[in-house]
Amino acid sequence: MVSILPTSSATGACRATAPSNIALIKYWGKSDASLNWPANDSLSMTLSRAHTVTTAKKSQGMAAHRIAFGTSSDTAIPARDNGKAQQYLEWLRTEVRTFGPAEGALDILTNNSFPSSCGIASSASGFAALTLAAVGAWTGAKNMDQLKALGISTAHLSAWARRGSGSACRSIDGGFVRWTRGNSPEQQSAGTIFCDDHWQLADLIVMIDRSAKKVSSTEGHARTWTSPLMKMRMSGLSERMKHVLEAIESRDLERLGTLIETEATEMHAVMMTAIQRTDYFGTPTINFISWLRNRRAAGNIEAWFTLDAGANPHLLCHPQHVAHLREQIIKNFPDYKILEDQTGGGAKLESLEEKSDGH
Ligand code: DP6
């Protein structure tokens, strides 16, 4: 077995696995950009297969944290532009110190289970896994229960991960996760409202365009306020959230699907009407969505789309309809790769100490 430890002599090494999530009600626009405090409540479905695995260990004699991408220290690629992660880890360390000592620079190795630029937010699972791995390495906790015994709850982890990337706060807990804005940054919180076994939905991610997006989400959040549609969007979101929650509670996919398509379309309409007009997708995505809607109207397909800040739609459907949907897509769009996912659970932490010399 290939070692995924940062080095073979790792001590206190731990491994965090954090899921990605797909937003059904989008976090789009910030009330405070420096704190990633959102303008509105958002809600996501945790994914089961798309995740980030991050290992961390304390390393003596290193001035700065070392971050590399890969599954093994032998083949890992050092992160070049990692200033944001370095800064985040230093901020995180001061937070962790309120629970006990958190000394030493960290040796970190991280890997996504999914290809980059495929319509899955890597920053969500990435910052959630980085947070959990770093906290595990500094505290010596071997699992989530040991963290809890130290006073560090999933609510702490989620609030910390949010500072790295907003959507990461929805990648600590699993199932259907609501991120509540609260009346101040201190009051915001994210947590499971329906577990993954409440409702298993399939998510087919259709890879229409694999190139990296030209406008980052962070930049998109800032631009959104210049759209004349933003005020209208903000005024209707709490009503939409109420309906989405009811649809999930009653497991009504047609109702949920209709709501999430309106939600995604509205988010993109806001971007297209911002002063710096921002189109996250082009004709191929529009054609695909038209095809989906036509087939659905004809009673041939039961699937609904959502779109994050990119060109690759996520199609939600019942698990028993995946094979038919996949077949229809392949027949009509043979060039598009499909990633299949489904509702999943939350982040995990495990110790690698015992395994460090045996593998
Ligand atoms: C469209 O969490 O990536 O995926 O907080 O600036 O890192 P930062 O932004 P990010 O924004 C995600 C935007 C979205 C919608 C969502 O996930 O809710």
Query: Which positions of the chain have pLDDT values less than 70?
Result: 1-11, 117-119, 354-359
In this predicted structure, what is the pLDDT of residue 355?
54
pLDDT number for residue 11: 59
CB neighbour list of residue 147: distance below 8 Å, 6 or more residues apart:
135, 136, 139, 141, 153, 157, 349
Tell me the CA distances in angstroms from 102 to 46, 141, 242, one per residue in order.
30, 12, 41
Q: Among candidates 359, 330, 313, which has minimal Cα distance to 1?
A: 359
Q: In this predicted structure, what is the pLDDT of residue 271?
A: 98
Identify whether the C-beta of residue 211 lies closer than 8 Å to the C-beta of residue 205.
no
Q: Judging by DSSP bridges, how do beta strands 105-112 and 66-69 pair with one another?
A: parallel
Q: CA-to-CA distance for 106 and 136, rounded, in angstroms?
A: 11
Q: How far is the CA of 297 from the centre of ligand 1 (A)?
A: 31
| Secondary-structure percent of the chain, ordered helix, strand, coil, rounded to 5 | 35, 25, 40
Over the chain, what is the mean pLDDT? 93
- Closest residue by CA, ligand 1 atom 11: 217
- Tell me the one-letter amino acid at 114: F
pLDDT single digits (tens) 223-262: 999 999 999 999 999 999 999 999 999 999 999 999 999 9
Provide the pLDDT for residue 213.
84
Orientation of helix 83-96 relative to helix 154-164, angle to 10°: 150
Give the residue, by CA position, lying nearest to ligand 1 atom 3.
217
* Residue 342: predicted pLDDT: 98
> What number does the ligand 1 atom closest to the CA of 124 have?
2
Give dist(CA 201, CA 340) in Å, integer.
11
pLDDT, tens digit, 9 for 90 and up, residues 279-328 = 999 999 999 999 999 999 999 999 999 999 999 999 999 999 999 999 99
Contact between 348 and 16 (Cβ < 8 Å): yes
Q: What is the pLDDT of residue 121?
A: 77
Domains of the chain: 10-198+349-356 (3.30.230.10), 202-342 (3.30.70.890)
Contact of 316 with 253, CB cutoff 8 Å: yes
What is the predicted pLDDT for the residue at 134? 97
Q: Which of 43, 221, 268 to mutate to test the pocket of ligand 1 (most atoms within 8 A of CB)?
A: 221
Identify the pLDDT of residue 359: 35
Closest C-alpha to ligand 1, atom 6: 218
Report the C-alpha gap between 81 and 74 in whole angstroms: 20
Cα of 249 vs centre of ligand 1, distance in Å, is 25
What count of Cα atoms within 13 Å lies in the side-chain half-sphere of residue 158? 25
Contacts of 148 (CB under 8 A, 6+ apart): none
Q: Percent of the chain scored above 90 by pLDDT?
A: 84
Task: Extract the tokens encoding 226.
Answer: 């210049």
Rounded CA-CA distance 24/12 in Å is 38
Rounded to the nearest angstrom, the distance between the alpha carbon of 28 and the centre of ligand 1 is 7
Measured CA to CA, the distance from residue 55 to residue 75 in angstroms comes to 15
Which three-class secondary structure state does DSSP give residue 306?
Answer: strand
Lining residues, ligand 1, CB within 6 Å = 23, 26-28, 36, 42, 121, 123, 165-167, 217-218, 221, 308-309
At 143 the pLDDT is 96
- Expressed in angstroms and rounded, the spacing between residue 30 Cα and the centre of ligand 1 is 10
177 Cβ contact list (under 8 Å, min separation 6) = 21, 43, 44, 45, 46, 170, 190, 191, 192, 193
Instruction: Return the pLDDT at 80.
Output: 80
List, in sequence order, the alpha helices (H) in the chain: 83-96, 122-139, 144-149, 154-164, 217-223, 230-249, 253-272, 283-297, 322-332
CB 220 within 8 A of CB 227: no
pLDDT of res. 117: 66
Between CA 115 and CA 88 the distance in angstroms is: 24
> Which residue, judged by its Cα, is nearest atom 14 of ligand 1?
308
Using DSSP, state whether 290 is helix, strand or coil.
helix
Q: What is the pLDDT of residue 91?
A: 96
Report how far ligand 1's centroid is from the alpha carbon of 14 (Å).
27
In this prediction, residue 59 carries a pLDDT of 87
**The predicted structure's pLDDT at residue 358:** 36
Taking the centre of ligand 1 as the mean of its atom positions, its distance from the CA of residue 320, in whole angstroms, is 30
Residues 66 and 24: their CA atoms lie apart, in Å, by: 35
pLDDT score, position 137:
97
